[in-house]
């Protein structure tokens, strides 16, 4: 095992499940009630803005009723205490990592608490309902859309993420099914660069075989245990 200095962590919907936010796939998953192409594509937004804006308004409002769980808090502790390089890349659009104390964080699929202006391209903090047609704070246009990376769009900060994954000594994936690219491919980049790779997930995922080690169980148990281990390595 090489010395661990640079850590990259990829998180998915499973880390927020125990806070009460639905995952995407599986029996109670969000996509069970909605077809992805009806709410998560640029075409859907053009075709039926009320449906798409209403879907994300409801998810934004739901954030007020949930709190970070022990897994988010453990990653916040790791961020505060880990002296080496660290990047938490989340596919989640909730704000539970921030509320759990994470700072070295990228939302690769965008954020519910942000708005993207279709007129000027600006991104701004946003907390209300978009269905009411609020104006962009920068250009005044009535053109705000959820700042969510829809299918067919390019995820945020890919260059920074790919550089960090290539330089990682340890790559850890938490609560993601490994079904959506490019995030699902990060483990292969990390492996090719010689990183140790670890998966923490409730069940074996589609990509489990890519990881050097897979642990199964709830994130609220596995993540605090792993954070204790990795901080002990730091001494």
Interface residues with ligand OAD (CB under 6 A) are: 12-14, 17-18, 23-25, 29, 40, 91, 109, 149, 175-177, 179-180, 201-203, 205, 218-219
State in angstroms the smallest separation of the CB of 112 from ligand OAD.
10
Q: Which of 97, 107, 109, 209 is catalytic?
A: 109
Residue nearest to ligand OAD (CB): 14
State in angstroms the smallest separation of the CB of 177 from ligand OAD.
3
What does residue 173 show for φ and ψ, rounded to 5 degrees? -110, 130
Instruction: For residue 14, count other CB atoms closer than 10 A to its CB.
Output: 24
CA angle 188/85/122 to nearest 5° reads 80
Helices (H), 5-69: 14-17, 30-33, 36-39, 42-47, 49-62
Distance between CA 147 and CA 101 in Å, rounded? 22
State in angstroms the smallest separation of the CB of 148 from ligand OAD.
6
CA quadruple 67, 72, 76, 79: dihedral positive or negative? negative
Distance between CA 232 and CA 235 in Å, rounded? 5
List all residues 6 or more positions away from 174 whose beta carbon is below 8 Å from its beta carbon: 9, 10, 11, 12, 14, 15, 71, 199, 200, 201, 219, 222, 223
Residue closer to ligand OAD (CB basis): 14 or 100: 14
Sheet holding 196-201, edge to edge: 105-107, 86-90, 7-11, 170-174, 196-201, 213-216
State in angstroms the smallest separation of the CB of 140 from ligand OAD.
28
CB 154 within 8 A of CB 182: no
Distance between CA 117 and CA 95 in Å, rounded? 20
| Whether residue 107 lies in the annotated active site | no
State in angstroms the smallest separation of the CB of 12 from ligand OAD.
3
Q: Which residues are catalytic?
A: 109
């Amino acid at each position: 095992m090489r010395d661990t200095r640079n850590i990259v962590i990829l998180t998915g919907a499973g880390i927020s499940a125990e806070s009460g936010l639905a995952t995407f796939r599986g029996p109670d998953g969000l996509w069970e009630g909605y077809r992805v192409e009806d709410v998560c594509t640029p075409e859907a937004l053009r075709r039926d803005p009320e449906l798409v804006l209403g879907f994300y308004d409801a998810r934004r409002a739901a954030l007020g009723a949930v709190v970070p769980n022990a897994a988010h808090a453990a990653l916040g502790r790791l961020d505060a205490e880990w002296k080496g390089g660290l990047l938490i890349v989340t596919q989640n659009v909730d704000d539970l990592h921030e509320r759990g104390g994470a700072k070295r964080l990228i939302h690769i699929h965008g954020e519910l608490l942000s708005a993207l202006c279709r007129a000027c391209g600006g991104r701004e903090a946003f907390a209300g309902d978009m269905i009411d047609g609020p104006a962009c704070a920068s250009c005044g246009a009535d053109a705000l859309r959820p700042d969510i990376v829809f299918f067919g769009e390019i995820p945020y900060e890919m260059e920074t993420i790919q550089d960090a994954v290539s330089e990682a000594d340890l790559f850890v994936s938490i609560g993601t099914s490994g079904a959506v690219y490019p995030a699902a491919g990060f483990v292969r980049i990390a492996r090719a660069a010689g990183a140790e790779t670890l998966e923490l997930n409730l069940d074996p995922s589609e990509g489990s075989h890519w990881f050097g080690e897979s642990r199964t169980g709830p994130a609220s148990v596995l993540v605090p245990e792993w954070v204790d281990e990795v901080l002990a390595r730091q001494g």
